[in-house]
Amino acid sequence: MVEVPEAEERRAAAAAHKSNMQQQETMKMQQHSSHRVAAHSNNMQQHTGKKKENSVLKLVKVCYGILPPRLGRPHSSSPSVIVIGGGISGIAAARFLHNASFKVLLLESRDRLGGRIHTDYSFGCPVDMGASWLHGVCDENPLAPLIRRLGLTLYRTSGDNSVLYDHDLESFMLFDMDGHQVPQNTVVQVGDVFKKILSETEKVRNEHSHDLSVLQAISIVLDRHPELRQDGLSHEVLQWYICRMEAWFAADADTISLKTWDQASEQVLTGGHGLMVQGYQPVIKALSKDTDIRLNHRVKRITNGYNKVMITVEDGRNFIADAAIITVPLGVLKANLIEFEPKLPEWKQSAIADLGVGNENKIALLFDNVFWPNVELLGVVAPTSYACGYFLNLHKATGHPVLVYMAAGRLACDLEKLSDESAAEFAMLQLKKMFPDATKPVQYLVSRWSTDPDTLGCYSYDLVGKSTDAYDKLRAPIGNLFFGGEAVSSDDHQGSVHGAYESGIMAGENCRRHLIRRHGSLEMLQAVSYREEILEAAVPLQISRM
Ligand SMILES: Cc1cc2nc3c(=O)[nH]c(=O)nc-3n(C[C@H](O)[C@H](O)[C@H](O)COP(=O)(O)OP(=O)(O)OC[C@H]3O[C@@H](n4cnc5c(N)ncnc54)[C@H](O)[C@@H]3O)c2cc1C
The alpha helices in 133-183, defined as continuous H runs, are 144-150
Q: Is 405 annotated as a binding residue?
A: yes
Can you tell me the mean pLDDT for 122-145?
Answer: 95
- Asked if pLDDT for residue 242 goes beyond 60, the answer is yes
Tell me the C-alpha distance between 512 and 485, whole Å: 17
Residue 88 Cβ contacting ligand 1 at under 6 Å: yes
- Asked if pLDDT for residue 376 goes beyond 80, the answer is yes
Tell me the C-alpha distance between 319 and 3, whole Å: 4
The mean-pLDDT minimum among 75-84, 111-120, 130-139 falls in 75-84
Tell me the C-alpha distance between 270 and 496, whole Å: 14
Region class of 479: left (phi > 0), else alpha (psi between -120 and 50), else beta: left
Tell me the C-alpha distance between 233 and 255, whole Å: 26
* pLDDT tens digits, one per residue of 28-38: 323 333 322 22
Q: Is 299 annotated as a binding residue?
A: yes
Question: What's the gap in Å between 117 CA and the centre of ligand 1?
Answer: 6
Give the burial class of 191: count Cβ atoms within 10 A of its Cβ; 0-12 exposed, 13-18 middle, 19 or more buried: middle
Residue 135 Cβ contacting ligand 1 at under 6 Å: yes
* pLDDT tens digits, one per residue of 65-102: 333 234 455 666 789 999 999 999 999 999 999 999 99
* pLDDT tens digits, one per residue of 424-476: 999 999 999 999 999 999 999 999 999 999 999 999 999 998 888 999 999 99
- Asked if pLDDT for residue 225 goes beyond 60, the answer is yes
Tell me the C-alpha distance between 73 and 99, whole Å: 9
Residue 98 Cβ contacting ligand 1 at under 6 Å: no
Question: By alpha-carbon position, which residue is closest to atom 21 of ligand 1?
Answer: 116
* Of 109, 122, 233, the residue nearest 180 (C-alpha): 233
Residue 118 Cβ contacting ligand 1 at under 6 Å: no
Residue 357 Cβ contacting ligand 1 at under 6 Å: no
Backbone φ and ψ for 401, nearest 5 degrees, come out as: -75, 70
Question: By alpha-carbon position, which residue is closest to atom 10 of ligand 1?
Answer: 496
Output the average pLDDT for the chain. 84
Residue 89 Cβ contacting ligand 1 at under 6 Å: yes
Q: Is 163 annotated as a binding residue?
A: no
The mean-pLDDT minimum among 69-83, 387-401, 477-491, 492-506 falls in 69-83
CB atoms within 10 A of CB 39: 12
Residue 332 Cβ contacting ligand 1 at under 6 Å: yes
pLDDT class of 50 with cuts at 50, 70, 90: very low
pTM of the model: 0.87
Question: By alpha-carbon position, which residue is closest to atom 49 of ligand 1?
Answer: 115
- Asked if pLDDT for residue 176 goes beyond 50, the answer is yes
Tell me the C-alpha distance between 237 and 384, whole Å: 10
Question: What's the gap in Å between 205 CA and the centre of ligand 1?
Answer: 31
pLDDT class of 269 with cuts at 50, 70, 90: confident
The mean-pLDDT minimum among 14-28, 154-168, 265-279, 505-519 falls in 14-28
- Asked if pLDDT for residue 18 goes beyond 80, the answer is no
pLDDT class of 379 with cuts at 50, 70, 90: very high
CB atoms within 10 A of CB 317: 15
For a ligand 1 pocket test, name from 328, 332, 377 the mutation site with the most ligand atoms within 8 angstroms of its C-beta.
Answer: 328
Tell me the C-alpha distance between 376 and 382, whole Å: 20
